[in-house]
Amino acid sequence: MYRSNWDIRRCIARANPSGFPRTMDEAVLSPASPPVLYQSLDPRVVKLWRIHSLIASAVLLAVAGIAMLFMGFGQVLPWNSLVAGWIGLLLLRLFFLFWQAWVYRAWGYRLDGKVLETRHGVWFRTMQLLPLARLQHVDLHSGPIERSLGLASLMLHTAGTHEATIVIPGLDANEAVRLRDHLVMVGGDDGV
């Protein structure tokens, strides 16, 4: 249930030995290297993102509604175009609720020896590779809604200047702690 057709087309195998939800890289493109398995985020993160999106939508739609009323009674624009605009906005926000599932599917991380690899992005894809020996410090962050869902995010800071911080959102709170300790342990011995 974590995959769409969109993703399945790219998969050559559905290996899922640990029972954890996993996604596949498009490494299928290169026949030389074996396909790479990524760990997915906790599925509850979609709920979190949807709640965030709903709150933002509510505020936005309320503000837009008030503006619509003012403009309607002030006869700045005709009522039908105002209502059409407001409904357009509503549909856009509703679309974002579905969008979160796509964002979730695009997200993956994996630990490859001493390198942490993350990938995300639906339209604009980004893959970040962090040599754990470069880890400066790790933040474990958990907002109120996140906490109530039992989630946490990790922020991995390096000494870099342009893409210095890597964020892994939506991890199970216990898993986040475990992952943090593991990353720090692997990174702590500073390579060689």
Partner 1 sequence: MGSEPPPLPPVLPAQVAPGLTQGLLLEGRLHPLTLIFSAWHTFRGVLIPLIVILFFGRKRAEDAYLPLAFLFLVLPLGFATIRYFTFTYKIQNGELITHHGVLGRTQRIIPLSRVQDIRIDQSVLHRLFRMADVHVETAGGKEPEASLSVLSLAEAERLRSAVFDLKGLSATAAPAPPAREIIRQLTLRELLLAGVTSNQVASAVAVLLVVWRLLDQFMRPELYQRWIERSTEAAATWLTQLGSGAWVVFLFFFIAAIAIGMVFSVVGSVVMFYGFTLARSGEDLHRSYGLFTRRSSSLPRRRIQVLKIEETILRRLFKLATLRAGTAATTGSHHHQEKGGRDMLLPIVPKAQVEGLLPAFLPDLDEGGEWRKVARLAVRRGTIKGSAALTILAVILYWMRPDWPSLWPFFLVPAVYWVNVMSYRYLGYLHGPRYFRTRHGWMRRSTHIVPIRNAQVVVLHQTPLDRRWKVASVLVDTAGKANTSGPPQIHNVVYDEAVELARALARQAAETRFKL
Residues that bind partner 1 (CB under 8 A): 26-27, 29-30, 33, 112-115, 117, 121, 123-134, 158-164, 166, 190-192
**Distance between CA atoms of 79 and 65, rounded to whole angstroms?**
12
- Pick 172 or 187: Cβ nearer partner 1: 187
Q: Is there a contact between 171 and 153 (Cβ–Cβ < 8 Å)? A: yes
Q: Closest distance between partner 1 and the C-beta of residue 116, in Å?
A: 9
Token pair belonging to 143? 């907002």
Q: Closest distance between partner 1 and the C-beta of residue 114, in Å?
A: 4
- Pick 105 or 149: Cβ nearer partner 1: 105
Token pair belonging to 43? 């599925």
Q: Closest distance between partner 1 and the C-beta of residue 19, in Å?
A: 27
**Distance between CA atoms of 175 and 157, rounded to whole angstroms?**
19
Q: Closest distance between partner 1 and the C-beta of residue 115, in Å?
A: 4
Residue 150 identity: G
Residue carrying structure tokens 């990524």: 38
State which H helix or E strand residue 145 sits in: helix 144-148
Strand partners, 153: 141
Q: Closest distance between partner 1 and the C-beta of residue 177, in Å?
A: 23
**Distance between CA atoms of 192 and 185, rounded to whole angstroms?**
14
- Pick 1 or 190: Cβ nearer partner 1: 190
| Cα 86 from chain centroid (whole Å) | 28
- Pick 11 or 90: Cβ nearer partner 1: 11
- Pick 13 or 164: Cβ nearer partner 1: 164
By C-alpha distance, which of 148, 127, 135, 146 is closest to 179? 135
- Pick 143 or 160: Cβ nearer partner 1: 160
Q: Closest distance between partner 1 and the C-beta of residue 95, in Å?
A: 18
